[in-house]
């Protein structure tokens, strides 16, 4: 599933073709399984900018209209100079951008992604479900201390996956943050010292910077950016999908299942 670094990469690439007046719109026959809300038609509106919030893309259109796009397990936006005719293209906009016909398409083989065509008021209400974006200045030590006091029994790794508190973190990020913070993923919040929480902040920034710099992280058959290219973020992973921990370089990585998600850790480095 695309996580914060992958969605950030796609957002940056889409930004390069904006503003974009939507001259033509295509929806697949099964697009209703993805588009959950249709407050408006995007035809003849202008996509003025796109921002990322957590793992969600927010398209700002003329007339105070919004498109919310969550990419799910296999979804992604593609940019092309030719019509996107690949299978599983469910939304496609075309426009003349800088004198060239440009296509912006949403492709999603598994159709776990969601989209909402919202007016401004409905978007604001929907966004209340997202917590603090872990790439922002709001993700602070004080915030983590508050969560520790409020949820002392929660285990740190599955807690990191809760988007209403840690917007942007997905499964590989959560394992990598715990690894770089030298914290066992099964540790409960009440056991984390102030130093542990500080280490989580530092680890989060390292994981984000590495993955964004390398264009996101692609596992087999997974994420591709807006031009169909794979991300090279796997080169920065220290425990996720690794056989030997890349921190100590001697210990076999262990895999456990926490809340039905594969979780990787080093039994030597993480305590």
What's residue 98's pLDDT?
A: 87
The domain made up of 141-265 has a fold known as Helicase, Ruva Protein; domain 3 (1.10.8)
In which residue are the tokens 């999603």 written? 108
What's residue 1's pLDDT?
A: 76
Low-confidence stretches of the chain (pLDDT beneath 50): none
- Among 257, 132, 196, smallest CA distance to 265 is for 257
What's residue 146's pLDDT?
A: 98
Q: If you compute the radius of gyration of the chain from its CA atoms, what whole number of angstroms results?
A: 20
Are the folds of 4-127 and 141-265 the same? no
Q: How far apart are the first and last CA of the chain?
A: 28
In which residue are the tokens 């997202």 written? 130
CATH number of the 4-127 domain: 3.20.190.10
For 123-180, how does the pLDDT look when each residue is reduced to its tens digit (9 = 90+)? 999 999 999 999 999 999 999 999 999 999 999 999 999 999 999 999 999 999 999 9
Q: Hey, where are the domains in the chain?
A: 4-127, 141-265
pTM (predicted TM-score):
0.96
d(CA 244, CA 26) in angstroms, rounded, equals: 47
d(CA 66, CA 49) in angstroms, rounded, equals: 10
Size (the chain), residues? 271
């Amino acid at each position: 599933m695309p996580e914060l670094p992958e969605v950030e990469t796609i957002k940056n690439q889409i930004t390069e073709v904006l503003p974009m007046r939507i001259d033509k719109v295509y929806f697949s026959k099964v697009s209703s399984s993805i588009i959950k809300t249709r407050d408006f038609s995007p035809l003849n509106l202008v996509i003025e900018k796109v921002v990322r919030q957590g793992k969600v893309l927010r398209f700002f259109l003329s007339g105070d209209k919004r498109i919310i796009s969550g990419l799910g397990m296999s979804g992604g936006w593609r940019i092309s100079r030719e019509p996107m005719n690949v299978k599983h293209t469910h939304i496609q906009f075309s426009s003349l951008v800088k004198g060239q016909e440009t296509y912006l398409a949403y492709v999603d083989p598994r159709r776990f992604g969601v989209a909402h065509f919202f007016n401004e008021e409905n978007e604001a209400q929907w966004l209340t479900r997202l917590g603090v974006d872990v790439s922002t200045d709001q993700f602070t030590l004080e915030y983590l201390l508050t969560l520790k006091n409020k949820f002392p029994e929660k285990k740190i790794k599955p807690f990191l996956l809760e988007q209403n508190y840690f917007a942007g973190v997905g499964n590989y990020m959560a394992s990598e943050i715990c690894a770089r913070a030298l914290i066992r993923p099964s540790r409960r919040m009440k056991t984390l010292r102030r130093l542990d929480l500080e280490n989580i902040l530092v680890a989060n920034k390292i994981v984000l910077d590495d993955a964004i710099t390398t264009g996101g992280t692609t596992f087999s058959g997974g994420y591709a950016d807006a031009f169909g290219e794979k991300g090279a973020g796997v080169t920065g992973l220290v425990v996720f999908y690794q056989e030997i921990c890349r921190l100590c370089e001697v210990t076999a990585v262990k895999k456990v299942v926490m809340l039905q998600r594969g979780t990787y850790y080093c039994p030597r480095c993480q305590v």
